[in-house]
Chains A and B, each alone.
Chain A
Amino acid sequence: MSLSRMLENWSRLNQRDYYKDEPIMWGMSIDLNKCTGCASCVTACYAENNIPAVGKEKCATGHTMHWLRIERYWDLPESEADLAVEESEYPERGAHFAPMMCQQCNHAPCEPVCPVAATYHNPDGLNAQVYNRCIGSRYCGTNCPFKVRYFNFFDYSEDIPHPMEMLLNPDLTVRSKGVMEKCTFCVQRLRNAKGDQADKGIRGHVEDGAVQTACQQSCPTEAIVFGNLKDSESKVSKAWEDHNVELNRHEQFHEEGERGYRVFEELNVEPSVMYLDRVRDTNA
């Protein structure tokens, strides 16, 4: 990629809606009313995406590679103090769980800082990572407000004992030392689905439900919905519409009790993942 092309791409990237005419924009909705924090999605992600378990010592130095992790908090944000229980020694309303993975931001802070354009925005709305272009500057990880980028400090693949290498998914690479990696919305599955459609002569449309991300597929409560936001009939766009969440906003205009929001949308990063508020019966 020539330097001029790179600069051109960057300036295009910062134009709003540059990809607005593309037929597919992958998006997600996560219902925190249903998410139980069981972490089934986390293990599904490990299995699908060749993510190494790094061991206790490396976990301790912050090298855990979980592309999808469960955030767990015990308190309410300040604005919701009225939902709090009476003074108690115990967390009587349970925990606050949120699966957190790359939010595939449309104004991704990680993209413009990459010195080699290893992370870029693809026409399907994904914040893609080109491993063999990555030089490991880690600027992107520093710039990510969600802290969902993971750096390979070691060649974990070399330590896989036989026969455990046999469970690796041949549809995606095993990353090597010195590159950054992150959630791809299971891009290998998306490519397969698009390829299947192309075989039938259909381009630019993937039927809703024809492709699932690994986390969505395993979720026992169906808290995760995934699909094409440009397809007005897809479950995910209906969910966005039902909950009155729109792109190109840094704040959603909600009636009392409407549940849709995007984490840190006030930063104007335009995440493609919508969350729905956790619900608690305050009468209980």
Chain B
Amino acid sequence: MSQKNAKNELSRRTFLKAMGLTSAGSALALTGCGDTDIINQVDLEVRKEKVLPAVDPLDFVRPGREVHYASTCRQCPANCNIHAKTREGRVIKLEGNPTSSTNWGRMCAMGQAGLQGHYNPDRLTKPMVRKGGKLVETTWAEAETLLKKYLGKKNAKLAWLSGATSGHQAVITKAYLDAAGSQNHFVFDTVPPSVGLAANEKMFGHAIPKYDFDKAKLIVSFGADFLGTWLSPVQFGAQYGQFRNAPRGTLVQIEPKMTLTGSNADRWIAIKPGTEGHLALALASLIAKDSNFKGKKIGNLDVDIEATSAATGVSIERMHKLRDMLIAQSPSLILSGNSAEGFAHGSQAANAILMLNIMLGNVGETILPRSKPAFEDLQPQLGGWAEMKAFIDGLADGSFDTAVVYGSNPLFQAPDFMKADEAFAKAKMRIAFSMFPDETTMACDLVLPVHSYLEEWNTSVPAYAADDGHLNIQQPVMNPVFGKGSTYAYGDIMLGLVSELDATFKNWDSYGAYIRDALATMKPTLVNPPKATVAGQTDEEGFMQGVLAAGFVQTKEAKASPINAKASSVNLPQGEAEGGKYAYHLVPSARMGLYDGRFANIPWLQELPDQLAAVVWDSWVEIHPKTAEKLGLITGDKVKVTSEAGSLEVSVFVFPGIHEETIAIPLGQGHTEFGRYAKGVGVNPHKILTPVFDEETGELATHATKVSITKIANRGDVDTRKHGDLVLESIQTSQKGREIVKSVSAKDFDHNEGEG
């Protein structure tokens, strides 16, 4: 990051100016065509009827014609590249950017629904401050005074919690915290598989290596829902599409609760939660002993197959079949995901699973190295429960006196046992940068309403980059929805704060200028930087127009050196502690749709039927038909699900895609705040998790909780509808003999459609 020429420096600016607040208004609607302000003349939506033709309209803005702006989706850490389709100055549709190696022009449901977050009626439009115990609306002038008072100074006791972050958003946050003398930056995101990533880092030297799904002849996934929520579902969805071409790859999914990926498997294997590592070890042992296996044998593989079969619930015959497939279908790809890793021995399980890749020779074939990043500071930080716990613990023991939260909702996500509310209440000052009145925001003393990702400048790096050195650019695709002076970009506020403490940052008068300057400075490090294309354009202008129209840049990266994989020793617990009265394992399942609950205020996603259960606008508990029969339950009954840490009341959904000794409650609902669409809907299974942590990484063992189930009402008492309180979008589970979805075998498919 270089600075502008010192003569450009604007000294003695007011605090307001330094925050970028006075200039934010004019940095609007910057386009793929350089620094040009578009003044929105056609303003019919708000009934102003100002239907004046633009006096001097820009070439590319024509009423009735769409203008596309390249930008970045920030709905989840995957950060896909998008084209925002705008009409008459407002964004009406989000589409994938076809040139992006992250998503190849495609988008998921959550990305599509970003519009309803952007235009959400419950967005905060005015700063709020706590007065007499209540949050009341205030002016930006007062909010700034307070912000300056609490954050415009050195404070080693300041704690900062962000959601998954990367790019210049991470840079400026870190710059501020460095300037403020605080070491306490925490990153928390619920879904990224932090235990598995740590295991990858140890084994392969990369937390997220590159995966080549297409090259794999067989994928065995231990609970990695790569089509739903794992790291980058659109990227893996695209790779999966290739993988399924002839010659068609085989997918085996091993998990206690069927995920979206599991529902697409050629063989879905129900396994007892917490025994995934044991199964992997048994497979390694079977493979090593097989005469057809020519690869490298690793470690001590003396495993009692019969005992493993009994513990995992997977038959010996099935294990033999898996062994044969793994030996015959090489290269393969073995993935470990959240449901295998959420235990006290989660790291060990991940090691056991990932080790199969080394044995089977997949490293260098389907698991590929990355280069060392050119700009370390821009790299994604996905965070995890350990950081969340450190944040809460620090607040609880008084190590921190000021708490700032942006892009994360700890009071909603944290299990009750963490006592996050109490800890949070102890801080002398709590500040939220937030778009919505969520649980954490409503518990703060100062609330600053921020821009949506479609209104601000930024850069980011995808959690899973298909190409090393991929840097996404985000630009405002329209004027702020609520007009000038209601919401501000996080980056602009941060720039104002940091320049109070570090004069270097006074060189930029807005975050947009800072981002553009950063990109211009990066030009020599980029692969094929764009040049001037129009006569009379300077190279600088041509470059900026080019990168904004592309939506991302690619930095030159060193050649990646091959992975030197190191198998770790695996130490798995033998036998399971007796659950006592808590007989069932609880799976808090994340799903494509509401994700971890951050999208519960989006009506499109509330109304999007769960891909497997087809339930809308609600929470439910999935119970296997046999278990349901034993407990006398039918779909629609209300039950109380109790763990040592608490209980929840929820409707039953009888579902065959779940292990008999397991129940699953999807994440996403159970908000006590968060606007009209989310508040008061369903339950949050995180609340009743018990205090078990992964022994190696300190991450919360999200799948280790055991629960009991008691019926509290028959569905007829709840509601006279067929499924009680639950609303199912598709009641029919059987084709009733009709040929609606037909199937053929992979053998016939390859025979007919294979190459040659």
- Which A residues are closer than 8 A to B by beta carbons? 32-34, 36-40, 42-44, 46-48, 53-56, 59-60, 64, 66, 69-80, 83, 89-98, 161-170, 214, 217-223, 255-259, 261, 263-264, 275, 277-284
Contact = CB atoms under 8 A, between A and B. Distances in A.
A217 B105 contact: yes
Contacts of A220: 103, 106-108, 227, 233-234, 237-238, 240-241
Given A48-B93, A92-B268, A218 B106 contact: yes
For B112, B116, B270, B751, the residue with the greatest tally of chain A CB atoms inside 10 Å of its CB is B112
Q: Label chain A's interface by main secondary structure.
A: loop
Given A89-B270, A89-B625, A97-B263, 19 more contacts: A33-B244, A33-B248, A39-B608, A40-B108, A47-B115, A59-B727, A69-B730, A70-B611, A71-B741, A73-B740, A94-B266, A95-B657, A98-B741, A163-B481, A167-B92, A169-B93, A217-B105, A279-B744, A283-B746
A97 B737 CA distance: 15
B733 interface: yes
B607 A261 contact: no
Contact of B250 (A40, A59, A284): A284
B112 A47 contact: yes
Interface in B660-688: 660, 676
A80 B740 CA distance: 12
A258 B751 CA distance: 10
A15 to B, nearest CB: 29
Interface stretch (B367-375, B511-519, B616-624, B638-646): B616-624
Interface in B738-756: 738-749, 751-753
A60 B721 contact: yes
Interface in B232-259: 233-234, 237-238, 240-241, 244, 248, 250, 252, 258
A283 B321 CA distance: 9
A223 B269 CA distance: 26
A53 B604 contact: yes
Given A257-B751, A277-B744, A94 B265 contact: yes
Contacts of A257: 744-745, 748-749, 751-752
Contact of B743 (A256, A263, A264, A278): A278
Nearest to A170: B87
B604 A43 contact: yes
A84 to B, nearest CB: 10
- Closest A-B pairs by Cβ, 4 of them: A220-B237, A257-B748, A221-B241, A53-B603
Contacts of B618: 56
Contact of B237 (A69, A95, A221): A221
A64 B614 CA distance: 12
A257 B749 CA distance: 6
Interface string B24-40: 00000000000000000
A25 B731 CA distance: 34
A38 B656 contact: no
Contact of A40 (B107, B482, B742): B107
Contact of B738 (A77, A169, A278): A77
Contacts of B5: none
A284 B266 contact: yes
For A48, A170, A279, the residue with the greatest tally of chain B CB atoms inside 10 Å of its CB is A279
Contacts of A259: 742, 744, 749, 752-753
A261 B742 contact: yes
Contact of A77 (B94, B95, B115, B742): B742
B3 interface: no
B614 A72 contact: yes
B585 interface: no
A218 B112 contact: yes
Contacts of A90: 268, 270, 656-657
A75 B735 contact: yes
A279 B248 contact: yes
Contacts of B321: 284
A69 B730 CA distance: 10
For A36, A259, A263, A282, the residue with the greatest tally of chain B CB atoms inside 10 Å of its CB is A36
Given A40-B106, A71-B730, A98 B740 contact: yes
Given A44-B107, A281-B745, A283-B747, A37 B263 contact: yes
Contact of A60 (B237, B269, B727, B735): B727
B244 A73 contact: no
A93 B266 contact: yes
A80 B742 contact: yes
Contacts of A284: 250, 252, 266-267, 321, 325
B270 A83 contact: no
A69 B610 CA distance: 11
A95 B606 CA distance: 22
A169 B748 CA distance: 44
Contacts of A69: 609, 729-730
B615 to A, nearest CB: 10
A36 B264 contact: yes
Contacts of B740: 71, 73, 77, 96, 98, 263-264
A237 B744 CA distance: 22
Contact of B745 (A46, A164, A279): A279
Contact of B752 (A89, A95, A258): A258
Nearest to A100: B740
A46 B113 CA distance: 9
A53 B250 contact: no
B160 to A, nearest CB: 30
Nearest to A221: B241
A53 B606 contact: yes
A92 B315 CA distance: 14
A258 B228 CA distance: 30
A179 to B, nearest CB: 20
A222 B107 contact: no
B233 to A, nearest CB: 7
20 contacts: A38-B109, A38-B228, A38-B592, A39-B593, A39-B608, A39-B609, A40-B106, A44-B107, A47-B92, A55-B603, A75-B735, A76-B743, A94-B258, A163-B45, A169-B93, A218-B96, A220-B108, A256-B748, A275-B741, A281-B250
Contacts of B616: 56, 59, 64
A70 B593 CA distance: 14
Contact of B605 (A43, A66, A278): A43
A263 B753 CA distance: 22
A40 B112 contact: yes
Contacts of B227: 36, 38, 220
Contacts of A42: 109, 608
A170 B605 CA distance: 22
Given A90-B270, A91-B258, A91-B268, A83 B481 contact: no
